[in-house]
Chains A and B, each alone.
Chain A
Amino acid sequence: AQSVAQPEDQVNVAEGNPLTVKCTYSVSGNPYLFWYVQYPNRGLQFLLKYITGDNLVKGSYGFEAEFNKSQTSFHLKKPSALVSDSALYFCAVRDIDQTGANNLFFGTGTRLTVIP
């Protein structure tokens, strides 16, 4: 079965500094990896995905993520954090089982706080 792990429950970063939110995955076969963000009292919003191709994926709001096969990681990054980036971030991996059922497994989430 596919799974993702987000080792940090909480990440604090000063405004203007680079930020990294970590994610590692465990899959059989080629991984389909996603990042979603959840702002307070809102549903999850798609940020970016890696399916194939370039290891560096660019997404919404200036975020990017680097797929690293040897380290089985898919860390989310941004060069300069904004206070408005404060939210809950979820890494996810797609799983398609032998019946063809299609599921998206989410990590436990990392709460990012950007300090002014």
Chain B
Amino acid sequence: DAGVIQSPRHEVTEMGQEVTLRCKPISGHDYLFWYRQTMMRGLELLIYFNNNVPIDDSGMPEDRFSAKMPNASFSTLKIQPSEPRDSAVYFCASSTETGFASGANVLTFGAGSRLTVL
């Protein structure tokens, strides 16, 4: 298995532009998570999906952020319009159902997408 695959690995864009980050979870994983990592705030959960359905999006910072999961093998995180304060590393992670209800599940992370908004 190639693991969780994210693209692009690096994105540099100008303020106001639309940014789309992509994620392919591990086949068979029922849960998909989007995290953001910054020096100031550390790792923050933005949103997570179960069987392609968004379960908790309370971490999405504002309406400029949206996430979709049209099928079990693909998810996107979109920022429109982007702002310099959105600069961060965005991680996608996936997990199986095993242990999820009890909180014992383990996340597998992708390598991240480093976003720089000028």
Binding site for B on A (CB under 8 A): 32, 34, 36, 41-46, 49, 51, 90, 94-96, 101-104, 106-109
Contact = CB atoms under 8 A, between A and B. Distances in A.
Contacts of B93: 43-44
Contacts, number: 55
A95 B108 CA distance: 18
Contact of B111 (A32, A42, A101, A108): A42
Given A104-B45, A108-B42, A109-B42, A44 B109 contact: yes
Given A46-B107, A106-B42, 4 more contacts: A43-B91, A43-B111, A49-B106, A103-B45
Nearest to B100: A102
Given A101-B56, A103-B45, A106-B43, A43 B104 contact: no
Contacts of B55: 101
Contacts of B102: 32, 51
13 contacts: A34-B106, A36-B107, A36-B109, A42-B111, A43-B93, A43-B111, A43-B112, A46-B108, A51-B103, A94-B103, A101-B56, A107-B42, A108-B42
Nearest to A2: B103
Nearest to B103: A94
Contact of B109 (A43, A96, A101, A109): A43
Nearest to A48: B106
B21 interface: no
Q: Which 10 A-B pairs have the closest CB atoms?
A: A43-B109, A94-B103, A106-B43, A101-B56, A44-B109, A32-B103, A46-B106, A108-B42, A51-B104, A43-B111
B60 to A, nearest CB: 13
Nearest to A47: B106
